[in-house]
Amino acid sequence: MKHFVKLFLAIVLVLLLAACGSDDAGGSSDGELADKLYLFNWGEYMPQEVLDSFEEEFGVEVVYSTYSSNQEMLTKLNSGTVNYDIVVPTDYIVKRMINDDLLLELNMDNIPNFENIQSVFHERDFDPDNKFSVPYLYGSTGIAYNTTKIEGTPSYADLWNEAYAGHVTVQDDPRESLSMVLQTLGLPMNDPSEEDLQKAKEELAKLHPNLLAYDSSPSAQLISGEAWISHTYSGEAGIAMLENPDITYVLPEEGGELWMDNLVIPKTSENQYTAEVFINYLLEPEVSKQLSDAFPYSNPNQGALDLMSEEERTNAASYPPEDQLANAQWFEDLPPETIQTMNRLYKEVKVE
């Protein structure tokens, strides 16, 4: 019996060691390309053709895995199961990752195409020297609506309109949906007090019966006509607008929210050089245009913008008018207690 236990433990040990054995894909930081690059990006955010043509040109296979929230990305990154080479966090998460010392400093000599990025997107306050991050795409959260069902230009307050009951969707995310309610109430979305959040929760609870669904990708419901008015990402609206001409997008008078996703290299990456070559490739005007063609978010790349038609550059979802943009607010990171309170209140709305 004792022998058996020993044997058993030996087998377990062997298995564990085998699991730990690293699969050195080769590649280093000095001018040699790796065979494989692990890209961890949002779902529906990277066209396969771009990855294929990168592989054709550089002989590097890009393994694209997807996530659906910044938190999911951070969780998987922290768990350390895969050494991702590139991840694409939102701006305020970049700041948090810099603070936690999770990111590699970029070697900008390998990313000359950074010049193509519009100067307003250089040196943003979450990464003041552009040492760690390169803008990918940006966008807003506002209202997508069906012009045959909704009269006039809707604001966030119209989500509560009982005439639209059963045809309203809001983002399925505590931060996003509560920020929308806070804006509607005229309360600060980046620095809400406990009281503000309580009020927001009560308003969200009033909205609940009016909803078709909590959905962060409602484009299908907008296209089918089931959703009339949606609190959603500009890109989701853009996808719906391509399929259904009755759909349009507006940043509401209450403000709307802005965010930008950024390419960064986590400290755990073993292929910094290859990752930088890939980032540089994505910043080529033609390639960058392919990204925003496939997923109609806003492109910060001046080179890509120059290649676009007038119609593309004035699309209501991707490039809202200046006065609407000026009114919108950027997401900022919140203290942990506030985030936890938001999470709890959001669940309470659904359960009660």
Partner 1 sequence: MIKNIRLAYSMLSPSLIWLLLFLIVPIVMVTVISFTTNEGYGGIIYEFSTEAYETAFLSSMYLKVIWNSIVWAFIATIICLFLAYPFAYFIAHAGKWKNLLILLVMIPFWTNLLVRLYAWIILLNGEGVINNFLMDLGLISDPLTLMYTPASVILGMVYGFLPFMILPIYSSIEQLDKTYLEAAEDLGANPMKTFFTVTLPLTFPGILAGFIITFVPAVSVFVVTDLLTGSKLVMVGNVIRDAFLIEMNWQLGSALSILLMVLVLLSVLVFMKFTSSKDKNFLV
> Under the rule (CB under 8 A), what is the footprint of partner 1?
1, 3-4, 7-8, 11-12, 15, 68-69, 71-72, 74-75, 78, 96, 100, 166, 169, 172-174, 208, 211-215, 224-226, 335-337, 339-340, 343-344, 347-348, 350-352
Whether 172 has a binding-site annotation, put simply, is no
We find the least distance from the C-beta atom of residue 188 to partner 1, in angstroms, to be 21
What token pair was written down for 175?
């931060």
We find the least distance from the C-beta atom of residue 281 to partner 1, in angstroms, to be 30
Nearer to partner 1, 175 or 289 (CB): 175
Nearer to partner 1, 313 or 344 (CB): 344
Nearer to partner 1, 50 or 102 (CB): 102
* Termini Cα distance of the chain: 55
Q: What residues are paired with 8 via a beta bridge?
A: none
We find the least distance from the C-beta atom of residue 114 to partner 1, in angstroms, to be 29
Alpha-helical segments (H) within 244-307: 272-282, 285-294, 302-307
Helix (H, G, I), strand (E, B) or coil at 68: coil
d(CA 252, CA 258): 12
Nearer to partner 1, 215 or 276 (CB): 215
Residues 260/299, Cβ–Cβ less than 8 Å: no
Give all strands of the β-sheet with 36-42 in edge-to-edge order: 61-67, 36-42, 86-87
Whether 154 has a binding-site annotation, put simply, is no
Nearer to partner 1, 198 or 340 (CB): 340
Whether 151 has a binding-site annotation, put simply, is no
Whether 173 has a binding-site annotation, put simply, is yes
We find the least distance from the C-beta atom of residue 54 to partner 1, in angstroms, to be 29
Nearer to partner 1, 51 or 345 (CB): 345
Strand ranges for the chain from DSSP E = 36-42, 61-67, 86-87, 134-146, 168-170, 211-214, 229-233, 247-250, 257-263, 329-330
Whether 164 has a binding-site annotation, put simply, is no
Helix (H, G, I), strand (E, B) or coil at 331: coil
We find the least distance from the C-beta atom of residue 193 to partner 1, in angstroms, to be 18
Burial 68-86 (b: 16+ CB within 10 A, else e): ebbeebbebbeeeeebbbb
Q: What residues are paired with 39 via a beta bridge?
A: 64, 86
We find the least distance from the C-beta atom of residue 348 to partner 1, in angstroms, to be 5
Whether 175 has a binding-site annotation, put simply, is yes
Binding site membership for spermidine: which residues? Answer: 44, 92, 173-176
Binding site membership: which residues? Answer: 44, 92, 173-176
